[in-house]
């Protein structure tokens, strides 16, 4: 049984500006450094014909994990996140995303959509599922995964808005 992820985030920037950030290598490098946590790295980035494929590795230290997770799998976690954003058509772009944890039967997958909601605002709506293959505690761990991802999405949004303000301000 999987746990659903459904989240919409509003951005006070145009969809075109957000897409411009997503298609800039410097944006991804700075986002990973700022929001990715200690030891995070940009594993791969491909920007081609308006599409973006990115692979980010994030580390979560053992002392930052709930006890139910460390009881089952001692040590920190290495999370591999991948996003593939299709080309932006002027008002929308779609994304397939996945996340997996090295050495654990856990994965997250889903889709997201960037849509313009006006000339100076846009929204990203994500839907997906978290699935943990550990009997008896899967649902609890899935809930933690979804909650943490939603918080991370908010931090990434806040970073992106601020990054675009800095880039646009001479």
- The domain of 27 spans 3-168
At residue 118, the 3 state secondary structure works out as strand
Pure H helices in 36-137 = 67-72
Q: Which two tokens stand for residue 23?
A: 């298609």
Q: Which two tokens stand for residue 159?
A: 């970073």
Give the mean pLDDT of 33-42: 90
Report the C-alpha gap between 80 and 133 in whole angstroms.
17
CATH number of residue 55's parent domain: 3.30.530.20
**Per-residue pLDDT at 86:** 96
Report how many domains make up the chain: 1
Maximal CA-CA distance, the chain? 55
Report the C-alpha gap between 74 and 80 in whole angstroms.
18
Sign of CA dihedral 61, 56, 143, 152: positive
Digit-coded pLDDT (tens) for 150-170: 888 999 999 999 999 988 755
CA distance to 57, 138, 158, 163, per residue, from 155 (Å)? 16, 26, 5, 12
pTM as predicted: 0.88
Digit-coded pLDDT (tens) for 95-141: 999 999 887 788 999 999 999 999 999 999 999 999 988 777 777 77
Q: How confident is the model at residue 80 (pLDDT cuts 50, 70, 90)?
A: very high
Place of tokens 């030891």: 39
Q: CB neighbours of 94 closer than 8 A, spacing ≥ 6?
A: 85, 86, 111, 112, 113, 114
Give the mean pLDDT of 26-43: 93
At residue 137, the 3 state secondary structure works out as coil
**Per-residue pLDDT at 169:** 57
């Amino acid at each position: 049984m999987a746990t659903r992820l459904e989240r919409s985030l509003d951005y006070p920037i145009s969809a075109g500006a957000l897409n411009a950030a997503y298609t800039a290598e410097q944006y991804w490098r700075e986002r990973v450094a700022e929001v990715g946590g200690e030891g995070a790295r940009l594993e791969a980035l491909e920007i081609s014909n308006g599409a973006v494929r990115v692979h980010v590795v994030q580390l979560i230290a053992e002392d930052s994990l709930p006890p139910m997770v460390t009881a089952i799998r001692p040590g920190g976690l290495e999370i591999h996140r991948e996003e593939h954003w299709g080309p932006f058509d002027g008002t929308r772009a779609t994304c397939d995303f996945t996340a997996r944890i090295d050495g654990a039967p856990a994965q997250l997958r889903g889709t997201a959509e960037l849509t313009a909601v006006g000339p100076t605002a846009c929204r990203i709506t994500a839907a997906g599922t978290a699935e943990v293959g550990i009997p008896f505690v899967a649902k609890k761990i899935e809930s933690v995964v979804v909650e943490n991802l939603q918080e991370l999405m908010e931090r990434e949004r806040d970073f992106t808005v601020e990054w675009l303000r800095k880039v646009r301000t001479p």
